[in-house]
């Protein structure tokens, strides 16, 4: 069962932090479409005003321009809220290597502010974004919760610390926290621009513009690319998970494995482009291969992803053709 059949109390209010971003705005839209109320908190540092404008006329949507690094903002944003979906963070492994202090402030202190605000306001469920980067240099595939290696970037460290706080807030205060270890999420509204853009939207935009994309490394890196609809399902099912399933982290992926060079050739084929890529140096802090064991999320959250990579990439390409 997907998320659209889930039923919450009719007056439920969801707070989505980072709700003007890629994942956050999709969560906001999905919850509104299900008939529930959404409060979006975003400082628009990486989120987009256009993602707010898309929903602002909806009667069940409220936007707060504010920052999770400000505790008073977090407290007021949690007023009357049933469920927190904490997506606010700065992403990108390479950028975190350049800006470690900023990542500490936003990703650790900001997330801790939100957990503490949620605790004080009696929030039912606190679902937060983590990352597959926490597996670090652990070589074994598929990646399984509890088998982590040495961290390779400040970004990964911030997410690991968030997870530890999530466990503590469950054990010490009884706050139901659920960590979502996302694996390479892609889909509609993912930003194709900038030096730190994700690979799929970046490639699609460049190919549509007849530009030659650069693949970091030899193209033999592999990733468990995960379509946005699967991530929405995971977040909303976590909001209905048991108290016993809280205080833990979960791999959120499809459970597949795609090589970058194969993805590139898929895109050129679907878009009808005959453009060979350039190959650049490996990115600092990158892991070579990533593939998720999602059995824990299946068992404890009822997570059952509907969209394969093939399903998702077709939908993503269609969206970018219409919106770029």
Report the DSSP pairing between strands 226-227 and 125-131: unpaired
155 is catalytic: yes
What is the Cα–Cα distance from 5 to 225, expressed in whole angstroms?
25
What is the Cα–Cα distance from 53 to 148, expressed in whole angstroms?
40
Contacts of 324 (CB under 8 A, 6+ apart): 192, 204, 205, 208
* Lookup result for tokens 């202090």: 101
Contacts of 238 (CB under 8 A, 6+ apart): 125, 127, 178, 180, 250, 301
Choosing from 155, 227, 254, 264, the catalytic residue is: 155
**Are the beta carbons of 112 and 165 closer than 8 angstroms?**
yes
In this structure, what DSSP letter does residue 183 have?
Answer: -
What is the Cα–Cα distance from 249 to 255, expressed in whole angstroms?
16
Q: Which of 221, 103, 223, 207 is nearest to 162 (CA)?
A: 103
DSSP string computed for 42-74: E-SSSS-HHHHHTTTTSTTEEEEE--TTSHHHH
**Are the beta carbons of 107 and 90 closer than 8 angstroms?**
yes
- Catalytic residues, by residue number, are 155
């Amino acid at each position: 069962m997907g998320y659209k059949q889930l039923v919450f109390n009719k007056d439920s209010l969801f707070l989505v932090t980072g709700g003007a971003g890629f994942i956050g705005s999709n969560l906001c839209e999905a919850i509104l479409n299900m008939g529930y109320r959404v409060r979006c908190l975003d400082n628009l540092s990486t989120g987009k005003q256009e993602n707010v404008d898309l929903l602002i006329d909806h009667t069940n949507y409220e936007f707060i321009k504010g920052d999770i690094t400000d505790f008073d903002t977090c407290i007021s944003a949690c007023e009357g809220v049933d469920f927190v979906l904490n997506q606010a963070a700065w992403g990108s492994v390479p950028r975190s290597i350049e800006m470690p202090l900023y990542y500490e402030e936003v990703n650790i202190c900001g997330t801790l502010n939100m957990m503490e605000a949620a605790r004080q306001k009696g929030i039912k469920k606190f679902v937060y974004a983590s990352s597959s980067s926490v597996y670090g240099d652990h070589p074994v595939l598929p990646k399984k919760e509890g088998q982590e290696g040495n961290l390779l970037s400040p970004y990964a460290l911030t997410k690991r610390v968030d997870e530890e706080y999530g466990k503590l807030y469950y054990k010490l205060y009884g706050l139901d926290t659920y960590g979502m270890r996302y694996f390479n999420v892609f889909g509609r509204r993912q930003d194709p621009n900038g030096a730190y853009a994700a690979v799929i939207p970046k490639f699609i935009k460049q190919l549509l513009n007849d530009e030659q994309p650069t693949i970091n490394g030899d193209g033999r890196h592999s990733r468990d690319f995960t379509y946005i609809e699967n991530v929405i399902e995971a977040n909303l099912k976590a909001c209905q998970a048991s108290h016993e399933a809280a205080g833990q982290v979960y791999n959120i992926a499809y459970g597949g494995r795609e090589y970058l060079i194969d993805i590139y050739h898929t895109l050129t084929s679907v878009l009808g482009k005959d453009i060979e890529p350039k190959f650049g140096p490996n990115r600092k802090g990158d892991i070579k291969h990533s593939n998720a064991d999602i059995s824990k999320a299946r068992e404890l959250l009822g997570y059952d992803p509907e969209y394969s990579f093939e399903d998702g990439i077709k939908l993503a390409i269609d969206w970018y053709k219409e919106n770029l």
